[in-house]
Amino acid sequence: MIELRTPTQIEQMRPAGRFVASVISALAEKADVGVNLLELDAMAHDMIRAQGAESCYIDYHPSFGAMPFGKVLCTSVNEAVLHGLPHDYVLQDGDLLSVDFAASVDGWVADSALSVVVGTPRQEDLDLIATTDRALAAGIAAATVGNRTGDISAAIGDVAREAGLRVNLQFGGHGVGRTMHGDPHIANDGRAGRGLKLRAGLVIAIEPWFLHTTDEIYIDKDGWTIKSQDGSRGAHMEHTIAVTDDGPLVLTARG
């Protein structure tokens, strides 16, 4: 079911957005050569406790997950691009790390993701991150009253195609509110002018993710981590936004 939020409710969602943004920023700053993924998850867990927030991940068990997630943060490295289950891995020079985090503050959820290169970057990784970020910006710009979900999807897909990337449609953006995942689904490619008409009060997460040379994925033996079929690296960007009469409002904007 698609729910529209009142201006008052959107204001009530701002603390969740600010908190999620602060965690993502802190994790990006902490990520460095020699840092263990479990350290990043522990840091996020400490910030959740300090805020009095609730994790959206730790007990999360959708149909595609082998078991409850058990951690509070997704950490996807190199050929992993989504749902990376934190494990005993020490970041190496040149690793491409994506962090995805969602939490509930006072009953309202926000969700965000960011990709960074640890240590010495490869130019192709920086280019992939930049393209994914441009696609996110294009999707957000299309999230205006009177447009449709297909306009968001088409804007994201256009950026991918211009960069020569293929787009996987299995996972994408989604509604956000009292829970982390809701309607509508926001695919990362589509046809402009199609889909749900956007109205003020719709709150969604827009999240393009791309792989260097493929759109084919598989789930790792850990039962969660999604990786590229050909071993190519991936990038993932996400913001929670509200559609308003004054344009899209990015609730998870990082300072």
pLDDT tens-digit profile of 103-155?
A: 999 999 999 999 999 999 999 999 999 999 999 999 999 999 999 999 999 99
- Tell me which residue of 62, 58, 208 sits closest to 128, measured CA to CA: 208
Half-sphere exposure (Cβ direction) of 69: Cα atoms closer than 13 Å: 24
> Against a cut of 0.85, is the pTM above it?
yes
Query: Is 2 a domain residue?
Result: no
pLDDT tens-digit profile of 50-105?
A: 999 999 999 999 888 889 999 999 999 999 999 999 999 999 999 999 999 999 99
Query: Is 1 a domain residue?
Result: no
Strand ranges, E, within 15-172? 54-55, 74-77, 80-82, 96-105, 108-117
Domain that holds residue 222: 7-250
Mean pLDDT of 21-30: 98
Q: Say whether pLDDT at 12 is over 90.
A: yes
Query: Is 116 a domain residue?
Result: yes
Query: What is the number of domains present in the chain?
Result: 1
| Secondary structure of residue 215 in the 3-state scheme | coil
What pLDDT score was predicted for residue 248? 98
- CATH number, residue 114: 3.90.230.10
Q: With contact defined as beta carbons under 8 Å apart, do 172 and 151 qualify?
A: no
Largest CA distance in the chain: 48
